[in-house]
Amino acid sequence: DTEVTQTPKHLVMGMTNKKSLKCEQHMGHRAMYWYKQKAKKPPELMFVYSYEKLSINESVPSRFSPECPNSSLLNLHLHALQPEDSALYLCASSQGYRVASTDTQYFGPGTRLTVL
Residues that bind another protein (CB under 8 A): 2, 4, 6, 33, 40-43, 45, 48, 56, 88, 90, 97-98, 101-110, 112
- Residue with Cβ nearer another protein (2 or 18): 2
Minimum separation from the CB atom of position 75 to another protein (A): 17
- Residue with Cβ nearer another protein (10 or 70): 10
Contacts of 42 (CB under 8 A, 6+ apart): none
- Residue with Cβ nearer another protein (58 or 77): 58
Q: Of how many residues is the chain composed?
A: 116
Minimum separation from the CB atom of position 24 to another protein (A): 14
Q: β-pairing, 4-7 with 18-25? A: antiparallel
Q: How many CA atoms lie within 13 A of 101 on its CB side?
A: 0
Separation between Cα atoms, residue 47 and residue 45, nearest integer Å: 6
